Amino acid sequence: MAYIYLSQEGMDNLKNELNELRTKGRQEIARQIAEARDKGDLSENAEYDAAKEAQGHHEAKIAKLEDMLSNARVMDTSTLDLSKVSVMCSVRVKNLKIKKEQVFQLVSEKEANLKEGKISVNSPIGKGLLGKKVGEKAEITVPAGNLEFQILEIFI
């Protein structure tokens, strides 16, 4: 069984999403089914079929989130080894091609959000940075070509 490592914020967001799906989401699906049922003969009622299918997808999403939560662990950032890049840490790098500094936080796939600088540890850049130490270079192949980063700082 593979654990999913999350920040406390990520764990809270996952719990909130699951709660929302279990309450408001289920109520909305039930309303749609009832509305479609009121429209008559169920054997030829496309709206009813669509609502029942949506219910199946909704319940599958709930089951997936429940499974994810059962395997989720909150990372204690106070115990992180900052001598090398690891999950949940932030890293300041210099893109050697364009001479520009960037900051990334390495997180689980569920928490990844490029606009916030949070990249998945499973992404090409995340994999390329993992385990590197300050001063080291990381050559990373991405769909757009090759990138070369120098590790400037590792922090929380």
119-130 residue pLDDT tens? 999 999 999 999
**Res. 68: pLDDT tops 60:** yes
> Is pLDDT at 44 greater than 80 in this prediction?
no
Contact 106/121 with Cβ under 8 angstroms? yes
Contact 5, 109 (CB under 8 A): no
Check residues 10 and 66 and name the one with the higher pLDDT. 66
Q: Tokens 């769909």: give the residue.
A: 143
Looking at residue 49, its pLDDT comes to: 87
Calpha distance 88→86 (Å, rounded): 6
Say which residue, 110 or 29, is predicted with more confidence: 29
Average pLDDT over residues 20-39: 91
Q: What are the boundaries of each domain within the chain?
A: 4-74, 77-155
The pLDDT value given to residue 73: 84
Fold of 77-155: Chitinase A; domain 3 (3.10.50)
Question: For the chain, how many helices (H) and strands (E)?
Answer: 4, 7
Catalogue the E-assigned strands of the chain.
4-6, 72-74, 90-95, 100-107, 118-120, 137-142, 145-155
Percent of the chain with pLDDT over 90: 61
The highest-level CATH class for domain 4-74 is: mainly alpha
Q: Is the pLDDT of residue 59 over 60?
A: yes
Mean pLDDT of the chain: 90
